[in-house]
Every structure is written in structure tokens, then in C-alpha cells.
Amino acid sequence: MDSREIIFLKPQLKDVVWGGNKLRDEFGYEGAGDSTGECWGISAHPNGDDEIISGSFKGMSLSALYKEHREVFGGIRAEEFPLLVKIIDAKQDLSIQVHPDDAYVKEHENCPYGKTECWYVMDCPENATLVIGHNAGTREELADMIHENRYEELIKNVPVRKGDFLQITPGTVHAIKGGFTILETQQSSDITYRVYDYGRLVDGKERPLHVQQSIDVITVPDKAGEEALSHTDGLSVNTLNELICCEYYRVWKLTVTKSVEVDQNHPFLLASVLDGSGTVDGTEVKKGDHFILPAGYGKAVFAGDMELILSSVS
Ligand code: ZN
């Protein structure tokens, strides 16, 4: 393959109890419906493995490409493709949940990756809040509050506005609420422990909770709280703005209003167009597109009028 080839992906979509119609009506994803909550825009996860729809590898799955052509990803050693990028459209509240870390999933779930994730808030209502963190002082108090259904007391609600960025480390109690559209960059994991689901019925039944696992993995006392949150207003346009660099990923925001040169000198660079349209080295891209610039790509010229989130491994 020519290392100057841009690899476009066909997202896998997920219908969920809390999903809405934005992924169909605003993003135009083929196959999205009235309760599509997640678009797995860049994913090689077995629960939603994206197909490559352009170039030399057209028709291949991202997991197969990663397995058979590691050179496309700079020869990194991770046993499975390490990242997953999603757009989440929450029409209703998601369950209150927590994710385990690498050590816990290796021991208890037979998976390679725990779940550190981060959110770029693409849209949300005025005066919105998200659930981030909890108020229990000890694990015993945490267990009591969960067993006694004292969720209002347990959870912390953090004020959030459009353009905010949140890093959610394993062990952090969290919930996305109705009205939020979020671009999520995460470790490639699908392990979620549901702490509380508002007593909601799905097909006449409550979805299972994972009370014991939650009590095991929630960080006590809470460390997340408002520290998880940063604001992105005031970031420069036409330049890569780093939002986070952690053990698992680096994430940048790029707002393009003219020609911008981006140096793809990472093992690979993942890109999602959140809004607007433009070109990447002359190839047209638009809102809702997800693509990968492979290893060795070098300088890429982004042009047009658009907003992107980019990521790579750290
Ligand atoms: Zn989560």
C-alpha cells in the first residue's frame, strides 16, 4: 500500500434503549434508525468491527487489517487494535456505570483491555450536567448507598457545556444524560458495569446490574469529580490542540477554517469529522466521516470549514 492512502471506514451502528434519531437525521448514517445510540466510527472490536471502504484494503475489516498489515499502524505491539472512536447520541439518560482497568479485566473478563475513555461534548442542553464521581467516603459506605438505592446522595452531578472535554479513568462513576451528543475516544473495550439503571424496563425487564463488580472497581474515595473536566473554548483554530495525553491515547481538536498542514508522524492518526466539510489532500470529507492516516503518511493538508477530533496512541 501507498502510505499516502487515506483509509475510510464504514461505522457499525448500535440501537439502544436510550438512543435517538440524530445519527440518521443529522449525520446521515445508512441503517441508523429512531433509537440508534452509538456509531462506532473507528473500531476493530469484535462487537463492532468496521469495514474499510476505500483504497487497497477495501472490503477488509479493521481487525484483519491490524492483524495482517501491522506496518499500516507503525508496527505497534498491542495485541488488538487499541482504540475505539464512537459518536454517542443520547436521547435519554444512560445507566450510571463504571469501567474496570486492564488488570481487572485480564483477571475477571478474559479481555485484553480495560476502559479509559474521554468525551468531547459535541452538543448538550443549556445548564446541563453529567454524572461524574461519587460522594462515598469508604467502600463500606459506597456498598451501603448502592444496596440501599441512595443514588441521589451517591452521585456527583458536574455542570457541563458544549465543547467541554472529560477524561474518565477506570473506577470513575459516570453517566451520559439525555440530550448529549458526544465523541468518545476510548481503549478498545466493551466492558461496562451498570451500577444503576433508574429502574427502567427494557422489553418488560430491568437490565441486569453489576453491583458486586461495581463495588469492587469504583475508586474510593472519589478522585474524579471536577478534575475530569476541561473547557475547550478559546483554543486556536487551524492548529492541533492537544486535549489529553495519557497512558493509552493522545487526543486533539482541530478546527479548520483555511488550509492547515498536519504532520502525521505518529504510528497512525485517527480522524472524525464532527461538523462541516472540507478536504484532506484533495479528498473530500464531511460531517460524520471517520478515517485513518497510516504510518509514514507525513504531512497532510486539511482545508475547508470543519471541526475534527483526532487521536493516536501515546
Ligand atoms: Zn463509560
pLDDT digits (tens, 9 = 90+) for 263-289: 999 999 999 999 999 999 999 999 999
Task: Give me ligand 1 centre to Cα 48, in Å.
Answer: 16
- What H or E segment, with its residue span, contains residue 215? helix 211-217
Mean pLDDT, residues 167-179 taken together: 96
Task: With cut-offs at 50, 70 and 90, classify the pLDDT of residue 227.
Answer: confident
pLDDT at 203: 87
Task: Please check whether residue 185 is in contact with residue 42, taking contact to mean a CB–CB distance below 8 angstroms.
Answer: no
Does residue 239 surpass a pLDDT of 90? yes
Mean pLDDT, residues 57-82 taken together: 97
**Does the bond joining 221 to the residue before it have cis omega, within 30 degrees of 0?**
yes
- What H or E segment, with its residue span, contains residue 132? strand 128-134
Mean pLDDT, residues 30-52 taken together: 97
Task: Give me ligand 1 centre to Cα 209, in Å.
Answer: 15
Task: Give me ligand 1 centre to Cα 94, in Å.
Answer: 9
Task: Give me ligand 1 centre to Cα 117, in Å.
Answer: 7
Task: Please check whether residue 215 is in contact with residue 146, taking contact to mean a CB–CB distance below 8 angstroms.
Answer: yes
Task: Give me ligand 1 centre to Cα 49, in Å.
Answer: 19
pLDDT at 199: 87
The 3-state secondary structure of 61-115, one letter per residue: EHHHHHHHCHHHHCCCCCCCCCEEEEEEEECCCCCEEECCCHHHHHHHCCCCCCC
The neighbouring-strand residues paired with 73 are none
- Which positions are annotated as active-site residues? 194
**What are the distances in angstroms from CA 18 to CA 32, 37, 89, 176?**
14, 7, 8, 10
Task: With cut-offs at 50, 70 and 90, classify the pLDDT of residue 202.
Answer: confident
Q: Could you give the CA distance from residue 13 to residue 16 in angstroms, rounded to a whole number? A: 10
Task: Please check whether residue 182 is in contact with residue 122, taking contact to mean a CB–CB distance below 8 angstroms.
Answer: yes
pLDDT at 1: 67
Provide the grid cell at 6.
487515506
pTM confidence score? 0.96
Q: Could you give the CA distance from residue 43 to residue 185 in angstroms, rounded to a whole number? A: 10
Task: With cut-offs at 50, 70 and 90, classify the pLDDT of residue 226.
Answer: low
